[in-house]
Amino acid sequence: MSEQLAILGGPQACPTGTVKPWPPIDDIDRELVMASLNQTTHTYGPNSTAFEQEFAAWNGNSHCITTNSGTAALHMCVVACECGPGDEVIVPAYSWSSSVTCVLHHNAIPVFVDIDWDTINIDVDKIEAAITPRTKAIIVVQMGGYAANMDAFMDISARTGVRILEDYSHSHASTWKGRKVGSIGHVGAASIMSGKPLATGEGGMMNTDDQDIYERAVMFGHGDHHKFVENPEYKRFSPLPWGGYKYRMHQMTSAMARVQLRHYDEYRAPGVKAMERFFSQVCAVPGVGCNYALNDPDVTVGASYWQMLILGDEIIGRVPNAVIARAIQAEGASASPGGYFCHHLHPFWNECDVYGDGKPTRIAFSGRDVRQGVGDCPVAESIVTRLIHVPRMIQYDEAYIDQLAAAYLKVLTNLDQLEGMSSDDVLERSTTLG
C-alpha cells in the first residue's frame, strides 16, 4: 500500500527514538581511570602492559603494542614489514585515508586495487594482477565489520611472499572462519578512537605473532618497549627509537581500554542482534544489499560500526542515494549517503607534492608511474553513489528497530514518489519540514 512519504508531508514512520551513547561508560571505567590518575607515573606503565597482554590473549596473538592512534599503529606495521622507498603496497581504492597514507611515510608506493560489491572490502580476485616484483605488502581493511576472505589473502601471500597487513579498525571481534580479524595476517593494526567498536577516545594497537615484526615495530616508534627486544642486532641501538617517533599510549587511555575490553563482548552483543533484525527486514527489498554478513557462514560481524546499505541499479537508476537518504531522515531515522573516498581519482594522490620532491608524492620514489584513472577501479568509482550509512545499532529494542526498518522500507518501497527529485529539492523540503 502506498503511504505518503514524510518528506512530502506524510506521517513519520519513525518518531525519534533514543540511541544510547557509545561506548557505554560505567563506574569501573571511572574507578580505573581515577586509580591511574592517582599513580605516581602517567607514562607507559602497568595499565598499558596489562592491556597489551589482555588484548593479545583476547584477539589470539602473542604480541600487542599499544599506540596513541590507529594511524600510528599502521605506520608501525609498514615499517615492521620493511616497506621502503619504491616498494609497492597494495591498498583498497576505497577506505579511510590513514589506511593508505601510512605507506607514504617511508616513500613506499600505494597501488590501489578495486573493492568488492558485496563487502566493500578490497577485491581479492583483483590482487594478483596488481602484484609486481616490487610488491611488499597488501593492506586489507576489514570494512564495516565484514571480514575479508582471509584464506584467499593468505594463500596469495604463501605463493608470492607478499605480507598481509590487516587494518581492523572497524571490526574488533569480527571473525573469519572463527578467527578474530587482525590476528590472521602477518600483522594487524586498529584504531580504538571514540566511536570505533572498541572505543577509548583516542588510541590504537598493533598485534602480531611474529617476533621480528614485533621487535622492529617496537624499535621504530614506541619509546619504551626496547626493554622487550631480544635481537642483539636491534638491541644495540636501544634506547634510541629508530624513527624518532613516540607512539605509546597514555596510562589513562589504557585504563579505560582495559575496562572496555573486559565488557566488550557484553556491550557489543545487543547491537549485533539489532543489525540482524534490521537488515533482514530491509534487505528483503529487491535491489537492496548490505555489508552486514547476513548469510555468510564464514563471517561473524563483531559490532555495529560503519554498516551500509548497498543499492543496486534497480534502485539508484530511479532515485539517487542522496535523495533516498534525505527522505529516510524525514521519516525520523538516521541515514547518510556515501562514506569514504575513492582514492585513485582523488587529486591528493595524483598531484600533491607533500615533501617538495618535484613530483607528486605518490610516485616520487617509484620507478614507474602507478597513477590510475577513471575506469581503473569501477566498483570504488561507483560505490559512493550506492551507499547509505545506516544508524548505529547499540541497544536491542525490538520496537525501535522495527520503526527504523519501517522508515527505510517506507522510502525504499515508495520510490515513485521521489522520482525526478534532485538532492537540492529534497534538501530544501527537509529544511522546510524542520
Ligand X SMILES: Cc1ncc(COP(=O)(O)O)c(C=O)c1O
Q: Which residues of this chain interact with ligand X, rule CB under 6 A?
A: 69-71, 95-96, 98-99, 141, 167, 169-170, 191, 193, 204
Report CA-CA distances (Å) from 12 to 76, 176, 255, 330.
49, 39, 43, 7
At its nearest, how many Å lie between ligand X and the CB of residue 227?
A: 25
> Residue 99 or 157: which CB sits closer to ligand X?
99
Cβ-based nearer residue to ligand X, 96 or 267: 96
Q: Tell me the DSSP string of 236-270.
A: TTTTS-TT----PPPHHHHHHHHHHHHHHHHHHHH
CA–CA gap between residue 325 and residue 336 (Å, rounded):
5
| Measured distance CA(197)–CA(233) in Å, rounded | 38
Q: Is 384 exposed, middle or buried (0-12, 13-18, 19+ CB in 10 A)?
A: middle
Shortest Cβ 277–ligand X spacing (Å) = 25
Pair type for strands 187-191 and 336-337: unpaired
Backbone angles phi, psi at 179, to 5 degrees: -100, 140
Q: Which is nearer to ligand X, 349 or 408 (CB)?
A: 349
* 186: nearest Cα among 164, 158, 168, 154: 164
Q: How far apart are CA 24 and CA 282, in angstroms?
A: 27
Kindly tell me which of 267 and 340 has the beta carbon lying closer to ligand X.
Answer: 340
Q: Find, among 257, 244, 194, the residue nearest to 46 by Cα.
A: 257
Instruction: Decide whether 193 or 299 has the Cβ nearer to ligand X.
Output: 193
Closer residue to ligand X (CB): 74 or 409? 74
CA atoms within 13 A on the CB side of 15: 2
**Cell output for 110:** 600505494
Question: With respect to ligand X, which residue has the nearer C-beta, 144 or 391?
Answer: 144
Name the helix (H) or strand (E) containing 91: strand 88-92
CB of 22 to ligand X, least distance (A): 14
Q: Are 23 and 172 in contact (CB under 8 A)?
A: no
Smallest distance, ligand X to C-beta of residue 79, A: 16
Minimum distance between the CB of residue 249 and ligand X, rounded to whole angstroms?
11
Cβ proximity to ligand X: between 196 and 326 the closer is 196
Q: Which residue number places its CB atom closest to ligand X? A: 70
Angstrom distance (rounded) from CA 80 to CA 54 = 22
- State the minimum distance, in angstroms, from the CB of residue 184 to ligand X: 16
Alpha carbons 293 and 301: distance in angstroms, whole number: 7
| Closer residue to ligand X (CB): 308 or 411 | 308
Nearest to 287 by CA among 116, 412, 123: 412
Least spacing, CB of residue 355 vs ligand X, in Å: 21
Q: How far is the CB of 21 from ligand X (least distance, A)?
A: 18
Residue 140's Cβ-count burial label (10 Å; 0-12, 13-18, 19+) is buried
Grid cell locating 295: 548469510
Shortest distance, position 170 Cβ to ligand X, whole Å? 6
CB of 170 or CB of 226, closer to ligand X? 170
- Smallest distance, ligand X to C-beta of residue 312, A: 25
